[in-house]
Structure 1
Amino acid sequence: MIDLVSRQTTYDSCLEGNFYNGKHFAARISAVPVLFVLSVVGSFAPLVAAYSRKFQIPEWIFNGIRYFGSGVIIATGFIHLMAEAAAALSNTCLGPPFTDYPFAEGIALIAVFFIFFFDIVAHYKLSNKAKARIDGEKHCNLPIGFESVTGEPSTNICRACEPIEEDQESKASKKSSDIEINERNLSKLESLYQQILNCVVLECGIVLHSIFVGLSLAIAGDEFVTLYIAIGFHQLFEGLGLGTRFATTQWPKGKRYVPWLMSLAYSLTTPFACGVGLIVRETYPAGSRTSLITTGTFDATCAGILIYNSIAELMAFDFMYSGDFKDKSIKKLLFAYLYLSLGAFAMAFIGKWA
């Protein structure tokens, strides 16, 4: 009987509402437009810099922001999402089985394997799609249909029409050359498809997390001021990470509006969630059992997605498989690594407050 009462008390301790104290209401309202502006600046600035000739910035600065943003996304997965998920799902008020097993890490692990399986299947399908496209366009010099955000068409991923009359030796040489070119172009096209897929996955993971960021700020208690400042930097840095990734991806012709829409979606999510949080500030049970489990599960899932994508697609691809540092000096590689580390450090440091 005593054990039953004890369990009931533990369960009820999760129904205490939230930490909202009624202070700084004007500042809470201002958070909606401020976070929107910071998110827009972070996510749209790289696109504007890449798209507009008037606002072009030196390549080394743009690449520095790109690697800094990658570091931000990595730290977001480890510090902001994984830590918050662990705190929510290990809350003592939840009781067994949550207090008996690291559910946050387990859910993140499931997410890693799920997104890895999704990546395998997508890579298989994209490889077949790329091969079919190469085979369909190999007999004429047609553009493959991709262009960067600047509007510049990508290198033609097909071979020029062959002359009708050629001697046997010339034909053999050209056939060997064509095979090599097609293999290289196939690899390039697969990479383009993979980068687009990576952008979509990153967007989904970060946008889902942004919902809870906005809600937590609106109903924050005594720590509201420091949380406000920290989340402001959080939105700016995270936006830079996404924006540079969108800006350096080559999008299909007719789809150049997609990165702009994705940046807009990111910019709207946190302010919108903050506005909703203000409406339900006195009734939203952030400390309830349901809320803790829901928030922790979403954060752990997003953490697994971002951690996998950050390591497999951002770090590994950018530094080892993209060819960006091929035939380049070691100095450029070290500077890129430094920017990556600075981005991770900045976001991890903000994790002390947000």
Structure 2
Amino acid sequence: MDTSNPLFYLLFKRDDDESSAPSQCPTENDFDGKTNLRILSIFIILISSALGAFFPILSSRYSFVRLPNWCFFIAKFFGSGVIVATAFIHLLQPANEALSNDCLGGTLAEYPWAFGICLMSLFLLFLVEIVSHYLIEGAFHEEESTVDDDKKLLDDSDNEDLADKGKVFVRDVKLNHNDVENKPEQQSKRVFTAIPGEGHYDHQKNHQDLSQIGTPLQEDDKENYSSQILAVLFLEFGIIFHSVFIGLSLAVSGDEFETLFIVLVFHQMFEGLGLGTRIAETNWPKSKRFTPWLMALAFSLTTPIAVAIGIGVRHSFIPGSRKALISNGVFDSISSGILIYTGLVELMAHEFLFSNEFKGREGFKKMVVAYIIMCCGTGLMALLGKWA
């Protein structure tokens, strides 16, 4: 082939120029009217979001809406599947699409930043959980040490009080040969044997069972509650970021508005169900009894408010602009890292492998049912990703 031909040179030069020059980002959005329907979408999405988020909380607290345990079981694991699918299909893929857009060019086009940011977000969240677990465990051990000291003082005080009243008999107990071999320093042991004194069986004194104070079971429960609360807060944080950009995009969408609107109604309901179920099953302390309601309210309001803002700035907000693509891509990447970690670690590994829910004779059968339900939630939410 004669490469000296000017036509050959011009063709290849044109191809090189076209491939190297980034395309221009859009300078306008696809808004095409239908303002009344867009305003109506604010209230419909608000209702669907609130229904998904509030219903599990109401059902767990009030008898007039209480459902059988199997309904809550289905909602819990279906919602877990929804959250995992949201992380991969509704967050990570759109983030990659936004940050790899041809119109951005430069450094953003040279590296898969969506996956990199997601990875950083995931490991940062893991670090936060490690540090939080260490601090919480240290605080509980310090509290347990204080309780043990108080218990010892109370035991000594009670024994002295009973001895003064002649109600304590002191006797030396010789340990047998095996005990001496195992613990030679304990060749004898002084035992206090007490006879209940006056006023013991009435309620003139508070006879708390000191053996139940600061037990390992209580400490494990406290750590478990703290881990639950931390996981739910991370989950809420990741979902809310995602909801903001969903609402803005819906408000200024064009021909696809009706399809996107219908899909988002179910999207928000399923997402709210997943979040609401986790909020409902968390053991909130009395000092934070309003927190579940506030978290459900925050989720319910985020997308409708974002839609309202999008309608208000419909002439200036351009989803395909450079700034919008970068901000949307970065925040979706961060949210995907949060939800991937929370979904795989807290909702899957913790629930299936480390909890007591699937112990016992019927445990494996129950686990298989939960797994199938979770797959259904994941599959349905992944299917919605075809449109939104």
- When normalised by structure 2's length, the TM-score is 0.78
1:311 aligns with 2:344: yes
Partner of residue 22, structure 2: 10
- Which AA in structure 2 matches 1:14? C
- Which AA in structure 1 matches 2:48? L
Instruction: From 267, 273, 290, give the equivalent of 1:257.
Output: 290
- CA shift in 2, pair 1:170/1:68, >3 Å: farther
Assess if the C-alpha contact under 8 Å between 1:74 and 1:307 holds in 2.
yes
Assess if the C-alpha contact under 8 Å between 2:247 and 2:305 holds in 1.
yes
SS of residue matched to 1:274:
helix
Deviations 1:97-147 (A, max 9, x none): 222211111110111111111111111111122333444456899xxxxxx
State the distance in 1 between where 2:111 and 2:118 align.
Answer: 13
- Which AA in structure 2 matches 1:226? T
SS of residue matched to 1:287:
coil
- CA shift in 2, pair 1:107/1:139, >3 Å: same
Instruction: From 226, 230, 237, give the equivalent of 2:270.
Output: 237
How far 1:20 moved relative to its partner? 1.4
**Structure (1 or 2) with the larger CA radius of gyration:** 2
Deviations 1:306-348 (A, max 9, x none): 0011111111111111211121512111111111111111111
Instruction: From 312, 316, 321, give the equivalent of 1:283.
Output: 316
1:270 aligns with 2:270: no
Partner of residue 348, structure 1: 382
1:25 aligns with 2:35: yes
How far 1:96 moved relative to its partner? 2.5
Deviations 1:46-81 (A, max 9, x none): 000001011111111101101111111111101100
- CA shift in 2, pair 1:353/1:137, >3 Å: farther
SS of residue matched to 2:320:
coil
How far 1:15 moved relative to its partner? 3.9
1:69 aligns with 2:79: yes
- CA shift in 2, pair 1:161/1:38, >3 Å: farther
1:90 aligns with 2:100: yes
- CA shift in 2, pair 1:133/1:57, >3 Å: farther
Partner of residue 203, structure 1: 236
1:216 aligns with 2:249: yes
State the distance in 2 between where 1:273 and 1:331 align.
Answer: 43
1:99 aligns with 2:99: no
Pairing 1:148-167 to 2, within 5 Å after superposition: 164=159
State the distance in 2 between where 1:170 and 1:50 align.
Answer: 52
- CA shift in 2, pair 1:10/1:187, >3 Å: same
- Which AA in structure 1 matches 2:99? L
State the distance in 1 between where 2:235 and 2:295 align.
Answer: 10
- Which AA in structure 1 matches 2:274? G
- Which AA in structure 1 matches 2:299? Y
How far 1:19 moved relative to its partner? 1.7
- Which AA in structure 1 matches 2:292? P
Partner of residue 124, structure 2: 114
Q: CA RMSD in A?
A: 2.9
SS of residue matched to 2:137:
helix
How far 1:6 moved relative to its partner? 6.7
Assess if the C-alpha contact under 8 Å between 2:144 and 2:214 holds in 1.
no
Assess if the C-alpha contact under 8 Å between 2:147 and 2:213 holds in 1.
no
State, as a whole percentage, how many aligned pairs show the same letter: 41
State the distance in 2 between where 1:170 and 1:77 align.
Answer: 62
- CA shift in 2, pair 1:161/1:228, >3 Å: farther
- When normalised by structure 1's length, the TM-score is 0.85
- CA shift in 2, pair 1:198/1:20, >3 Å: same
State the distance in 2 between where 1:250 and 1:105 align.
Answer: 34
- CA shift in 2, pair 1:186/1:212, >3 Å: same
How far 1:17 moved relative to its partner? 2.1
SS of residue matched to 2:287:
coil
Assess if the C-alpha contact under 8 Å between 1:139 and 1:161 holds in 2.
no
1:327 aligns with 2:360: yes
Instruction: From 89, 94, 97, give the equivalent of 1:79.
Output: 89
Q: Which structure 2 segments of 5+ residues have no match? A: 1-13, 160-167, 174-188, 192-209
How far 1:39 moved relative to its partner? 0.7
- CA shift in 2, pair 1:192/1:27, >3 Å: same
